[in-house]
Amino acid sequence: MRSHLINGAAKSALDAQIMAFVSKQAACPPGPSVDLRVGLKNEGGALYRIITANGMIELIRADKFLASLGCLEEFTDEFDCLFSVPAMRI
């Protein structure tokens, strides 16, 4: 799993937690895998980070982690998953 910031976009308040999760994921095992993209929007609704998951298992891990932080999944045709960090967390 790897990630990169979108140039000029403000980071989310949860970005440190998200990056800690991404950095703890093991490198993908050798062999064929499909890169799946997870888009992240900051509290203002701007796309600020893209996470690339190596295969479906990593995508599911990222999905569950982001949901546990309170991020909301949105419908998209551009990414395999798209999450937004809510402006007001409960």
Tell me if 69 is assigned to some domain.
Answer: yes
Tell me if 90 is assigned to some domain.
Answer: no
Q: Which amino acid is at 17?
A: Q
Give the tens place of pLDDT for each residue, 61-84: 999 999 999 999 999 999 999 999
**Alpha-carbon radius of gyration of the chain:** 13
pLDDT class for 40, splitting at 50, 70, 90?
A: very high
The residue range of the domain holding 42 is 2-25+33-84
Tell me if 44 is assigned to some domain.
Answer: yes
Q: Mean pLDDT across the stretch 13-37?
A: 85
pTM: 0.87
Tell me if 89 is assigned to some domain.
Answer: no
Cα–Cα distance measured from residue 70 to residue 82, given in angstroms and rounded to the nearest whole number: 13
The total number of structural domains that make up the chain: 1
